[in-house]
Amino acid sequence: MSKLWVIIKREYAQVVKKKSFLIGIILTPAFMAMVIILPAMLATKKPDTVENIAIIDTDGQGIGERFAEGIKAYKLDDSSPAYNVTEILNLNPDDSVAADRARKRLDSLILAKSLKSYLIIDNGIESNDSCFMVAKSFGLQTSRRFDKVISRILSEMRLEKSEINLGTDSVMTLTRRIVFEQQAPGGKERDFLTTYFAGLIFIMIIFVTVVTYGQVLMRSVIEEKNSRIVEVMVSSVSPFQLMGGKIIGLGLASLTQVGIWVALGAIIYVFKGNINIAPAISDTVFNPVFIIYFICFMLLGYLMYSTIFALIGAIVNNEKEAQNFIFPVTMLNILPILMGSYIIQEPESTLVTVLSLIPFLTPTMMILRLNIMGPETFSFVNPIIFEATLGVILTFLATLGIIWVTGRIFRVGILMYGKRPTLPEILRWITYK
Amino acid sequence: MDDYLKLVNIRKAYGEKVAVNNLSLSVPKGSIYGIIGPNGAGKTTTIRMIMDIIAPDAGDILINGGKVTGEFKNNVGYLPEERGLYKKMTLEEVIVFFAELKGFPKSRTLELIDGWLEKMSLSDYKKKKVEELSKGMQQKLQFITTVIHQPEMIILDELFSGLDPLNIELIKDILMEEKRNGITILFSTHVMEQAEKLCDFICLINKGQKVLDGKLADVKAKFGSNTLQVDMEGDGAFSREIPGVEDMIEFNNYIELKMTPDADTQEILRRLAEKVKIRRFEIMEPSLYEIFIKVARIDPRELIEEQAGHV
């Protein structure tokens, strides 16, 4: 036991003392925030300078002018107009030569960057329901605004021409859109994006621990194998103790990392009590049932995958050879992220249920499902609790099996240098005395 | 003398290839025991079985008459053929770590560490990282990690590989000192000249089988004094033809002539002097090397190539 402890101590110290550990603690959440928040922020960011736009109108009903009026409502931060209509070209619908010439001229203005975009309002826009804009790049926000303004103008025009004896304004009021909210049972607010991101954060924690520390473990095995240290090691401890010491030592290092993140999060939460956490996230974070399963799956996931990485380390000779094996293992962890949007929509579908009971996928998939279903009590009548518990048991059994097989292969593999073993050879190692 | 270590008919095969076949040997307590043989003879496999790194297919390994236990692992210092240490740790950390793995208390290691570093002229590097050391220094450091926990037995695989002559002398002196302290030393080598200077007992093995074993002095006496070693300038190939010369082995700087029992040494020297310039000559006991060739009945050229490639 004390020898196991000596190995645990060394593996732990080797990781925690490194500068990269500290950098990882700071950079990983920063990176996660960047990946999740930045694209959303950028996409909805207000343009900070006025955009010059032009309009070609061949419809002849003054839609161009009404559009120019309509978009005046959009302002920049300093409350100056967001769009500047440089020209409105009212052209004869039959004069295609003039239209072509106008488009060519505006195209060249766009290329010269003196114009951001132009809008083409074709003859018959009312009935064919389409309209298009020309630009070098399309801002999500600008297109939404243009769409909204044009649609509104067209609705108004149709109303004016119709037989309905009502004021335009009152019809617009009557047909206004509602705010459509999603709620989880129990009256809690839920929406697709925050649910997805909340799940993603937890999956990322598992992913980072499993893949990062798994690979640290693998590299450590390869290093000991290449430097032949392993031979001295197994003359002092059993290969199983060596493997176990490494897995536990690095596991503690990764727990330290996650622990620091949790502590930092708690500090931020306590000292900035008014911070606005999306309900989907706070529901999850403060749900003890979820947290218990999360801890189970994180530990099991780490144990299972780090053992697999130890196995890879024991059968390869260098990191280059290892790459071939790392890819499929990483894919198993990424699959739930790729399938994320489907899982959120259909968390109880047969496909998702079956996949989430495959031990390699259980830790991440089950976390995502638990996050969506948000069970609050341990009631085995609740199918998700039953399935999650079954998942824990299956993953636990699979992990034991993997540890046993790896232990058998590890003790032979770490002493094999040079030629990479073939699969039949590796299988034969399992039966060695 | 009691035997500290005893191997009884051990055997190990890798698939079809038999690495060690029916090997028995006894290492007396407090002796220096050399397992000697060419590369591929089964030395490393034998040592790994003693260290319980691999299990023998058959046979027994006995320590002080009993089975190998976890306690033995703590009481032995092992230097494997291929050397290596954690590059990113300091010398002090590495030494403490390996001693702790042997169950040796950290406080005791810290008491002994300065003395050992001094002995190996590594004192200035105590707090430096292993990667800052030269290859030779790393070898000396690894030797410290092998012996600092005061083992009862030291096992060294291919002891001399990678060591420069100066360090070979240093390590030899230390081994002699350890022997005086009653420690049993077992090492393997293919460099027979070195083994000869160090061993009390030898075991010659070839192709996984014991060729010969016993006390070095007894072995030598048995094979008599019939070798003439000549250090000379010129091509000595013709000496094979001189009457009274039974066989000739050519080394880089000298030749060894194996003489028939009735050979006239003076006559042989005269014939040699006619064609080459003799710098030194000596009538000597047969070298281990010669004995090995004779007993194992292998083609000496095979061995010479072996040695040229590895010395």
Return the residue of A nearest to B82 by Cα. Answer: A228
**Interchain contact, A235 vs B82, CB within 8 Å:** no
Output the pLDDT for position B118: 94
- Which of B53, B84, B102 lies nearest to residue A229, judging by beta carbons? B84
Output the pLDDT for position A135: 87
- Which of A223, A235, A433 lies nearest to residue B78, judging by beta carbons? A235
**Model confidence at B1: pLDDT above 60:** no
Burial tier of A314 (Cβ tally within 10 Å: 0-12, 13-18, 19+):
buried
Neighbour-count burial for A400-415, b at 16+ CB within 10 Å, e otherwise: eebbebbbbbbbbbbb
Residues of chain A with pLDDT under 70: 1, 32, 35-47, 182-193, 272-285, 418, 433
Quote the strand ranges of chain B, DSSP E: 3-14, 17-28, 32-36, 58-63, 66-67, 76-79, 153-156, 184-189, 201-206, 209-215, 227-233, 245-250, 254-259, 277-284
SS3 A329: helix
Phi first, then psi, for residue A315 (nearest 5°) are: -100, -15
Neighbour-count burial for B30-62, b at 16+ CB within 10 Å, e otherwise: bbbbbbbbbeebbbbbbbbbbbbbbebeebebe
Return the residue of B nearest to A236 by Cα. Answer: B73
Helix residue ranges per DSSP H, B223-299: 265-275, 288-296
Cβ atoms of A420 and A315 within 8 Å: the answer is yes
Output the pLDDT for position B308: 46
- DSSP-assigned states of every residue in B100-140: HHTT--HHHHHHHHHHHHHHTT-GGGTTSBGGGS-HHHHHH
Cβ atoms of A64 and A296 within 8 Å: the answer is no
Question: If we measure between CA atoms, which residue out of B44, B63, B62 comes closest to residue B53?
Answer: B44
The answer for B224, left when phi > 0, alpha when psi is -120 to 50, beta otherwise, is left
**Interchain contact, A228 vs B98, CB within 8 Å:** no
Question: If we measure between CA atoms, which residue out of B90, B166, B81 comes closest to residue B128?
Answer: B90
**Model confidence at B279: pLDDT above 70:** yes
Q: H-helix or E-strand containing A279?
A: helix A279-285
Question: If we measure between CA atoms, which residue out of B130, B23, B15, B149 comes closest to residue B84?
Answer: B130
**Model confidence at B9: pLDDT above 80:** yes
Q: Percent of chain B beyond pLDDT 90?
A: 39
Confidence of residue B309 (pLDDT cuts 50, 70, 90): very low
Q: What's the number of CA atoms in the CB half-sphere (13 Å) around residue B188?
A: 24
Average pLDDT (B83-108) is 92
Output the pLDDT for position B310: 42
Output the pLDDT for position A96: 83
Q: Is A98 on the interface with B (CB under 8 A)?
A: no
Both structure tokens of A240: 């199983």
**Model confidence at B142: pLDDT above 80:** yes
Chain B residues contacting A via beta carbons under 8 Å: 48, 51-55, 57, 73-74, 76, 78, 80, 82-89, 97-98, 100-103, 145
Q: What's the number of CA atoms in the CB half-sphere (13 Å) around residue A285?
A: 15
Global pTM? 0.73
Return the residue of B nearest to A222 by Cα. Answer: B86
Both structure tokens of B56: 């023998």
Neighbour-count burial for A123-137, b at 16+ CB within 10 Å, e otherwise: bebeeeeebebbbee
With the CA atoms of B48, B52, B56 and B59 taken in that order, what torsion angle do they form, in degrees rounded to the nearest 10? 110
Residue carrying the six token digits 């050519």 = B250
Task: Report the distance separating Cα B98 and Cα A412, nearest Å.
Answer: 22
Phi first, then psi, for residue A111 (nearest 5°) are: -65, -35
Rounded to two decimals, the ipTM of the complex is 0.76
Q: H-helix or E-strand containing A54?
A: strand A51-57
Q: Is A222 on the interface with B (CB under 8 A)?
A: no
Average pLDDT (B114-119) is 94
Task: Report the distance separating Cα A196 and Cα A307, nearest Å.
Answer: 29
Residues of chain B neighbouring A2 (CB-CB closer than 8 A): 103
SS3 A186: coil
CA distance A111 to chain B (A): 57
